Structure 1
């Protein structure tokens, strides 16, 4: 209490020293600024850790809550939830000690008790008043900033007169009959070796099996439930395989993704899928979950998932996704070694697996055929 009285007396003295005639808002602003500049040094100099134990009741550097800090790496969500439950029924022996639970109860109930406002675009004066400016922003009729308008441009027609002369000449002409190799039309649904068999190498279960309709299904990972664990845990997996001839491949598409909670797929370094919310990346980053109101610094960081430059979410989505897809990844393939990268982010428990549907050209039957297209017109003219 002595500390409060001394600061109050000091501020009162500053207020007297700064007294001046106030007649306009600018005078009030300048008076407040002068008051703050005069008193900030005096007040700030008396607020420090050395005097805290003398003037603040229950001040201590060994509060029980310090055990929750652990250099900023502890998960304090549970401690906060326990404090909320405890304060619902707790009654302190005096009003001073009751302030902590009063503040906790206020913050717990505040979101449901605060008034909510609805802005109607049909009646709100700010929105309705701006329609005229939006529809006709130009202040000068015909200006480039005015509303779009129709202009007629006339281009006169131009005429060209051309003449030609045709004469008949006699000449000796020769031609060639060409032997060409003709082949049956292309068809697919076979395994012609464009994808090198048994070239798969990955750090998860891999299978390459026919589906009975001419397709081969490449599965990377196991479609099961919760065989990985962690909160915001990242599981990176790679599958490599060889392609002898990309031209033989008619389809190579990502057709299924089964995972919990997040998944990203890359083909030879190009991102082809981020789910379940889309995006262009899948990273686990730390964000400040709680700020110390005394220091203004973050007191606790938690893991969040970033899936675009401004997109963040908690890791836990509580869903095992199983999406049927049709994403063409053939443009990203190449002859030689290819790599499919899969990143799964789980919270609590999770899994990750993908399926790709592939299809290749079938061998073609070919035969010899004479091409008489050069000589046939000459033979017709000679008749």
Structure 2
């Protein structure tokens, strides 16, 4: 088998937030009094030059501004970056450009500026509509700010927006989780992402854990959400993602389908298929600290560039592909890893024996309901065997 070039996306990391949330393990940092917006945009454009050759003739299908809080950056700076990116890599005519935004950091009318800059999709970090829970989570916005942000989105003509929600919050009841979802649906988003709160190492919550709901209650919250969203016209297409017809996130789908993405910005990760470098899949990481990222020369901002070992490719593919409710087809595995599907015979057989994996008549593989519930166990079956020597 041989590798084929998959679609290409761009991830742009904006590392600053007004305040670090106690549950957040992302590379985010409390913003200085004056965010060095112009300097950071200049650094991003210099950074892109390191991996621009990885396009290898492809146009960008999506761009995602993540953080941190990208909405701390003014629309004209976002527009300047997009203009610079286009000079390096062409845009697909139907490119999806998403900006993450915190409802508490949007100035009135700014969404129209982002639209004019080229942004055509927004992801709002709502998390919850419960005022007490918002305070416990360290959020800087109130429930009313979410509705006001949505109103401004619609006034700007940006109806393709996602709401991020969390469940399993401190002391949250099943009924409260359902009310959160009802409040989100009342705003009529095009897409909804819903994640269970987990206590990640290195976070405040990990070192001082709050009282969380019982696992059975969290499972019930997830089941209730799936049922309610299905009745409201939302299709679950990934473990934590639900969309109205035609509104799936192209950028996140590219991750889950083992596509390529250039990652620029402090701490950004990338995954690139390099047919021009011996047909290898390369992982890249940028330096993490914003100050260090800004102070380094352009060619020193990449802290790691490594070729993914062939024996790791099955696990890396399955880590993404098995998150999709509809799963993946065998040719996709072969073209995006360069391996024969028969490489997976042993773990596939074990997964089927345990009732975690199934396929249809067209050889499309997907996690069973049990496989979705115990997804980590299913994915771990594809880990490479390591020698102790």
TM-score (norm 1): 0.19
- Report which of the two has the higher share of strand: 1
Structure with the higher helix share, 1 or 2: 2
Structure possessing the higher relative contact order (Cα contacts under 8 Å, 6 or more residues apart): 1
